Structure 1
Amino acid sequence: MDQITLMLVMLALFQVKHLFADFYLQTPKMLSAGATYVHAGRAQHALVHIVGSFLVLLPFGLLAGLSWGLVVGLLALEWVLHYHIDFGKGWWSKRTAFTTTDAGYWRAFGVDQLAHQWTYIAMVWMAV
Structure 2
Amino acid sequence: MPEYVGSVLLLLGLLQLKHMFADFYMQTPKMLCGRGEYFHMGRAQHAGIHALGSVLVFLLFQAPVPFILVLCVLEWFVHFNIDYCKASYSDAKQLMPNMAGFWRAVGTDQALHHFTYLAMVWAWMEYAVL
Specify the TM-score bucket, using the shorter chain as the normaliser.
Answer: over 0.9
Aligned residues: 124
Length-normalised TM-score, structure 2: 0.93
Whether 1:75 and 2:72 are equivalent positions in the alignment is yes
SS in 1 for 2:61: helix
Task: Give the drift of 1:37.
Answer: 0.2
Matches of 1:12 and 1:5, distance apart in 2: 10
For residues 13-61 of structure 1, give each alpha carbon's deviation from its aligned partner in whole angstroms, at most 9, with x where no partner exists. Answer: 0011001000000001001111100010000001111111111111112
Whether 1:94 and 2:95 are equivalent positions in the alignment is no
Matches of 1:34 and 1:90, distance apart in 2: 6
Matches of 1:67 and 1:54, distance apart in 2: 11
Report the residue type matching 1:100 in the other structure: P
Length-normalised TM-score, structure 1: 0.94
Match of 1:107 in 2: 104
Report the residue type matching 1:76 in the other structure: V
Aligned pair partner of 2:82 in 85, 89, 96: 85
Percentage of pairs with the same residue = 45
Match of 1:8 in 2: 9
Q: What are the equivalent positions in structure 2 for 1:14-33 lying under 5 Å apart?
A: 14-33=15-34
Q: Which moved more, 1:47-56 or 1:79-88?
A: 47-56
Matches of 2:77 and 2:96, distance apart in 1: 26
Matches of 1:30 and 1:7, distance apart in 2: 31
Match of 2:45 in 1: 44
Task: Give the drift of 1:68.
Answer: 1.5
Matches of 2:74 and 2:84, distance apart in 1: 15
After superposition, the CA RMSD in angstroms is 1.0
Matches of 1:80 and 1:118, distance apart in 2: 14
SS in 2 for 1:36: coil
Higher relative contact order (CA 8 A, sep 6+): 1
Matches of 2:124 and 2:44, distance apart in 1: 24
Matches of 1:55 and 1:71, distance apart in 2: 9
